[in-house]
Structure formats: C-alpha cells, structure tokens
C-alpha cells in the first residue's frame, strides 16, 4: 500500500517502532486501513515481540474483511501475551466473521471471566452463547430429507388486503408493468405483498433448479451485454445502473455477479427486483451466486434480519433454499468466464469440472465451489492462503494456465471493493468489477459495470458514484455481535 509522499519521506529513515505505530493509528482513524496495515507491519518488523502491534494490525485486517489475516495476528498477540485481553477480543471477532461461533464463544467467555464487571464483555458473551444455542437447536431438529421450507407456505391462504396498493402479478406471472411498478413501490419505501413475494421465490426456485452450475451464454456479434458486480443491498444505486445503462430487456441483457444482499439495508428490494427481471427475461438476465448468498453470511450481515423484519423468519429460510440453486459461474461465447470469487487451489480445473459441481448446499470450506465464491487474485506468482480465511489467493501464472487450458480470453470476477470500481490485473486476464459505490456509506469508492459485444468481447468500463438513499444506515439489520467487531 503506497503512503502519501510526505509521510513516506518522514518515515524513510525511522527506526522507532512507536513512531510507526502512532502514524498507523492516525491512518486507521482516517479509515486508511491498508496504509495502516503497512505501517503496523513496519513496526512489527522492528519490534516483533510486541503483542499490541499484532492486535492493532488484527483490527485493521478486520476492517478490510481479511478475517484470516486478522485471526493470525490475534493468535500471535495471544501467544506473546496470554493475558492481553484485546487479543482475545480480536480473535473472537475474527472467528465470528468466519462463522466459527463456538470458537468465538470460547474467547468471549475468556474475556468475560477476566473482566467480570465489563458490561460489554458480558453482553457479547451472552449474545454469542444465544447464537450458538440457536444454531445447535436448528441442527438438532434438522433431519436428512426434511421438508422444504416451501412446504409450509400456503399461498392460497394469503389474502390480498383491499388497501394494498402495490403491484399485482398478472395471472401469477411477472410482466414488465409489474417490475416497473415494483421498482416505483420500493422507491416510495413500500412493500410487495407477501403472497406475490412468495410466488416469485417459488417460481425462481423452480427455474434455477433446472440450470447447470455453469451457464453458457451466447452473445451475438452486434449485441451489447452488461456485467455488474456486487450490489450489497444498495437498491438506489441499482436503480441508478438502470438509469445509466437502460432497463434489462431482450435487447439489453445483464449478468449480476453475486452478493446481491447483506450490508446494505435495502437487500429485500434488490433481490426481488433482480428475481423479477430473471423471471421476466430468463434467457437475457443472469445471476451468479456470491459468497453472501449463504445462510451464515445472511445471519451475520443483515439479510436474514431484514427479511424477518419486513416479512418473516419463514421467508428467510425459503431464501436459503433458493440461493442454494443459484448458478456458480457463466461463460460468455465460450471466451469469458465469470464467477464471483476466483480461481482454484488446484491446477487442471476445466469448465466441465465446474459444470459438474453439486451446488445445492451451503458453501463448503474448500473445493471448487468454495474457490468460485471466495478466492481473490494476488500480484505475486503462485498461490497463497487467503487473507479472508476462506478460499485462496491466485497469481498471474495461475490465471494464465487456467485460461490457456480452457481456451478463454480472460476471466471476470467481483468480490472486492475497488477505489475505481474495477481493476484489470494479471496482464489483462483477470478483471474485477464492483458495483456498490461508497460501499456501506463509508468507503468513498466509485462503482462500475462492464459492457461488451459479441464481436470482439472487449470489456468497456463505466464508472458512477453513489446516489442519495433514505436515512436507513447500512448494517441496520446486521447481527449486533458482528457490529461489535468493528468497535
């Protein structure tokens, strides 16, 4: 991470780790987390036995969602000083973000026992304990071949109230009029009736079940095709994409590349808009699964809480079943492969291998499905453990071998915030696109989408900034324990 020239010059000949720590703290407070990590690392190089430095860097890694790196630093801080309470706090936060709730609970318990009068420690211990018990209960009552969540949904019993003034399905089908009225309804901060919401979920579930894990898409020579990255519940920015680039249609096809929900507090509005377009234009509107289309992520980052608040816990369970059937990747004209995360922990993976992935499940911690949803590119050659704690980091040589083996031009992925909304890496063969501007109302990043045509498949990048939204903060529905990891 490059530092400001003046700061770099100031620290050029510095040898005092405390100076690097103080400057890193300033950068952290200014939300320049990458630069803060760089300076904490320099301080650690000069003072490698200082537990506080590892704890501080762990906190910065948490802020950048590098939960694996945060866990490693927290472990090191505890190794150096077993009585350093902040080390346990940081480790609990990393475990929590990785969905390792039992491990998080052990650390929160250690903090609570060490500081029995600390109300914050007590609250986190109690909340984590409730979460672990809830998950254990859900597992205990779940049995192999148990009923689908859809089986408890009785559409016919859901009456459309006389005062409902939202959109109506026509003969049970999504129409262009319906989608336009739905978007207008959401802009007015109103809801779609639960009967229609469940009907859309049922229909899109039935459709996705029939799709392969890798969907092949054909684009005509003169046809325009649009690729969007993460949306993360930023509905009003989604509407801006359609303002700038036109509504989806049979002559204006789109692919949304995962992470439609979580973090942003208008995830319900985003997902029903996207699912409606999928049903309206099934052969011209595509959706790939992201790592946030999963139960664990939805429990922590807000989608489950939002669905429960706006509809019901039952609907949240239905969403989990729908997400399990989302395709994992798309291949455009057999030349461009698109997935949410990235490439694989092993060489010799073919497109046919992706087609054969059994995806009707929650994402595993390793394997092809995991890597498709979680991996990230790195500038260095080869592979490295992911700083996220899940998936791998893959270098330009890995990308080169993969596209050569599969006769591809390049790959497109999302999954990472980029200051400009996109990034071209690995000699132009690995492109990242991220479509949520000013992510979480804090990152100040531009967003982008990609357009291309079938003739040359050359990516064209279109940048845009955030637009105003109602005064509902991001993470408004997130688990309170997750919010605590940021404090």
Q: Which residues are catalytic?
A: 292
Q: Select from 178, 328, 181, 172 the least CA-distant residue to 255.
A: 328
Tokens (6 digits) for 86:
């902040």
Count Cβ atoms below 10 Å from residue 181 Cβ, excluding itself.
Answer: 16
Question: Distance (Å, rounded) from C-alpha 288 to C-alpha 214?
Answer: 9
Is the alpha carbon torsion for 332, 334, 336, 338 positive or negative?
Answer: positive
Return d(Cα 390, Cα 2) in angstroms, integer: 26
Helices (H) and strands (E) in the chain, counts: 19, 14
Q: Which of 2, 8, 53, 70 is nearest to 32 (CA)?
A: 2
- HSE of 294, CA atoms in CB hemisphere, 13 A: 20
Distances from the Cα of 340 to the Cα of 226, 257, 283, angstroms = 15, 6, 20
Calpha distance 19→346 (Å, rounded):
42
- Count how many Cα atoms sit within 13 Å of the Cα of residue 43 in the half-sphere of its side chain: 23
Q: What count of other Cβ atoms lies within 10 Å of the Cβ of residue 140? A: 8
Cα–Cα distance measured from residue 108 to residue 124, given in angstroms and rounded to the nearest whole number:
7
SS3 285: strand
H or E segment to which residue 464 belongs: strand 460-464
Tokens 């700083």 belong to 387
The C-alpha atoms of residue 174 and residue 177 are separated, in whole angstroms, by: 8
Nearest to 277 by CA among 238, 312, 303: 238
Tell me the C-alpha distance between 18 and 170, whole Å: 67
**Who's near 187: CB < 8 A, 6+ residues apart?**
236, 239
Give the chain's end-to-end CA distance (angstroms, integer).
24
């Amino acid at each position: 991470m490059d530092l400001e020239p003046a700061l770099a010059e100031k620290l050029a000949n510095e040898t005092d780790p405390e100076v690097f720590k103080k400057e890193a703290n300033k950068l952290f407070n200014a939300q320049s987390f990458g630069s803060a990590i760089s300076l904490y690392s320099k301080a650690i190089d000069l003072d490698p036995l200082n537990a506080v430095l590892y704890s501080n860097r762990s906190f910065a890694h948490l802020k950048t969602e590098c939960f694996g790196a945060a866990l490693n630093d927290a472990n090191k801080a505890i190794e150096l000083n077993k009585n350093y309470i902040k080390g346990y706090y940081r480790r609990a936060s990393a475990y929590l973000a990785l969905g390792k709730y039992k491990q998080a609970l052990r650390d929160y318990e250690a903090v609570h026992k060490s500081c029995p009068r600390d109300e914050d420690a007590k609250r986190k211990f109690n909340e984590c304990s409730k979460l672990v018990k809830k998950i254990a209960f859900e597992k205990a009552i779940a049995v192999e071949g148990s009923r689908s969540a859809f089986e408890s949904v009785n559409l016919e019993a859901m009456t459309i109230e006389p005062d409902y003034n939202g959109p109506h399905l026509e003969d049970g089908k999504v129409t262009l009029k319906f989608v336009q009225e739905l978007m207008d309804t959401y802009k007015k901060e109103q809801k779609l009736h639960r009967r229609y919401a469940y009907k859309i979920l049922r229909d899109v579930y039935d459709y996705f079940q029939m799709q392969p894990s890798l969907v092949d898409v054909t684009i005509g020579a003169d046809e325009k095709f649009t690729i969007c990255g993460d949306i993360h519940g930023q509905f009003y920015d989604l509407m801006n994409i359609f303002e700038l680039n036109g509504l989806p249609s049979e002559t204006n096809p789109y692919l949304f590349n995962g992470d439609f929900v979580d973090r942003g507090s208008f995830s319900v509005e985003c997902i029903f808009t996207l699912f409606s377009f999928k049903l309206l234009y099934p052969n011209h509107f595509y959706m790939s699964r992201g790592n946030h289309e999963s139960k664990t992520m939805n429990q922590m980052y807000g989608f489950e809480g939002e669905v429960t608040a706006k509809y019901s816990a039952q609907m949240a369970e239905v969403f989990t079943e729908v997400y399990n059937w989302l395709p994992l990747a798309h291949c455009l004209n057999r030349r461009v492969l698109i997935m949410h995360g990235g490439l694989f922990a092993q060489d010799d993976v073919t497109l046919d291998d992706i087609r054969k992935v059994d995806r009707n499940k929650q994402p595993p911690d390793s394997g092809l499905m995991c890597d498709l949803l979680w991996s990230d590119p790195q500038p260095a050659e080869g592979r490295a453990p992911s700083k996220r704690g899940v998936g791998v980091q893959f270098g330009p040589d890995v990308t080169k071998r993969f596209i050569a083996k599969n006769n591809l031009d390049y790959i497109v992925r999302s999954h990472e915030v980029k200051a400009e909304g996109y990034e071209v890496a690995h000699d132009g063969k690995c492109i990242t696109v991220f479509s949520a501007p000013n992510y979480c109302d804090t990152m100040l990043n531009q967003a982008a989408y990609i357009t291309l045509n079938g003739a040359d498949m050359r990516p064209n990048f279109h940048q845009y900034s955030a637009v105003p939204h109602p005064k509902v903060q991001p993470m408004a529905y997130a688990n309170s324990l997750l919010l605590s990891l940021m404090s």
